[in-house]
Amino acid sequence: MANVEIDRVLALQQANVWKMKTSTAAERKARIIRLRDRLLAAGEEVAEALYKDMGRPKVEMPFDVQNSIDTANEAIEHLDEWMAPAPVRPNIQNPSVKAYIHYEARGTVLILGPWNFPFHLCVEPLISALAAGNSAVIKPASMAPATSAVLAKIVRDVFDESEVAVFEGSSDVANALLEKPFDHVFFTGSPKVGKIIMAAAAKNLTSVTLELGGKNPAIIDDTADLDEAASGIVTSRVMNNGQTCLSIDYVLVPEARKKDLIDKMSSVIKELTYTDGKFDSTKTGRFIDDRNFERVKGYVDDAVKRGATVAFGGASSPNELTMEPTILTEVPADAEIMQDEIFGPVTVVLPYSTIGDALSTIQRHGKPLGSLVFSTDEAFVENFIQNTTSGGVSVNSWAGHYFDGSLPFGGVNGSGIGSYHSIYGFKAFSHERAVWQRGVTKVAA
C-alpha cells in the first residue's frame, strides 16, 4: 500500500517539476510565506508534541519553531539575490563571450528527518528546497510520532501534494522511498544510517546531503575564561538531554585548570537543571527510548569499571529514561565512551600536559561535526585550526558556527557530506549549471 501511495505522489510531483523549476522568486516566496505564517501559529502544538515524544522542556520550543521562522524570513529577504545568475570571468577574453552560473532546481527531493530535533530539522531543509524551486517529500522520524503527526498536518494545511508531501511510518516507509528515483536526498541522522542512505541513493545515482555527527571535542588553554567555557560546554550537554549533534563529548583542559573547570561546570549544571537542590529532569527532557538510555548508561558503567571517576552526577532512572548531567574524569582511552558519539548528558574531562598531546588525542577521534575552542590567544586558536579537522569550529561560544547563518553548516566524511543554511542550503538543493555563450544579444521585440 505504501508503495502505491508513494508512486502516486511522486508522479504528481514529477509532473509538476517544470512548473516548480521555472517558478519566479515571487512565486517561491509565496510558498515560503504560507509556511511561515502557519508556523507562527504552530508554537503550542509543536511544543506539546515534542514534550510528548521526548519530554522536551517547553522553554526550548523557540529553537524549533522560531529558528524555522527565522530561516523562512531570511529566504524571503534574500531569494532574489540567491536566484540571480552568478557571473564568472571567462578565460577567453572576447567582448562577445559571457559566462555565468545558473542555479537550477534539482527537481523532486527527499528529506529524511532525525528524531532528536524532529520538527526543525525537517522544516529548515524544506525551506531551502522550496527556495531553490524543488518539490519535496518529507519522511519524519518514526521515533517521534507526535511531532511527525503535527508536521504532517502543517504540510497538508499549507501545500498541495504536488509541491510538498509527508509520509509517516516505520523504516519500511523510508526504505520504500529510498528505492525511488528522487533528484536529491537530504538526510540528518547517524553515520551508521548515513551509510545506508548513501548506498541506496547510489543505485539511482542520486546526489545526497548527509548531516551526521561524531565525537565533538572542546579544548581550553591557559588564557580561556573558565566561566564562559563551563557555560558553553554544559549548555551543549543539557539542551535536549545532550541528544544534539553538536554536543561536546570530551573536553581537553590543562592539568592545572581541571579542578576549577569541573567545579564551574558542576555549578552551571545545578543552575540549569536543579530545583530545590535536586536534579529536575523536566528541565532537560528524557532519552528518546530504552535503547538509547541503556546505551549511554552502559558507557558510564563501562568507564567506571575501567577506572574512571564520576566527578559529578551519575544518577539515572530507567523508568523515566532520565539521567542527571554527568562529568567523568580519569577515563581511559580504550573505554567505550571514547569510541562512539555519546548523544546523552555525559561529558568526559581529560587533562593535557602539552598542546601536542591534546592535538594528538583529537586527531585520533576522526572528523567530528564541530570543534569548540576556548582561548584568547590567536596563535593557539590558529594552531588548533591548522592541526585538526571538523565540519566547523566555534571559538569562545558553543555552536556559533551553527547559529550564524552566514556560514555553511555540515560535516566532513564520517560527520557528513555537503552543507546547508542560508544561501548554502539554497545551493545544496540547486544544480550549479555552467553557462557559456558567445555572440548573444537582445533582439528588439
* C-alpha distances in Å from residue 199, one per residue of 179, 193, 195: 11, 10, 6
DSSP, residue by residue, 188-255: ES-HHHHHHHHHHHHTTT-EEEEE-----EEEE-TTS-HHHHHHHHHHHHHGGGG--TT---EEEEEG
Question: Phi and psi for 243 in degrees, rounded to 5?
Answer: -90, 65
Q: Is 77 an annotated catalytic residue?
A: no
Q: From the CA atom positions of the chain, what is the Rg in Å? A: 23
Q: Is 5 an annotated catalytic residue?
A: no
d(CA 160, CA 271): 47
Say which amino acid occupies 427: K
Share of the chain residues as helix, strand and coil, in percent rounded to the nearest 5: 45, 20, 35
d(CA 1, CA 323): 41
Nearest to 247 by CA among 340, 330, 344: 344
Do 349 and 266 contact (CB within 8 A), yes or no? no
Do 216 and 210 contact (CB within 8 A), yes or no? no
Name every residue whose Cβ is closer than 8 Å to that of residue 356 and which is 6 or more positions away in sequence: none
Catalytic: which of 74, 124, 211, 324? 211
Catalytic: which of 245, 294, 320, 432? 245
Nearest to 42 by CA among 152, 154, 125: 154
What does the block give as the cell for 275? 530545583
CA within 13 Å, CB half, 50:
28
Any bridge partners for residue 120, and if so which? none
Active site residues: 211, 245
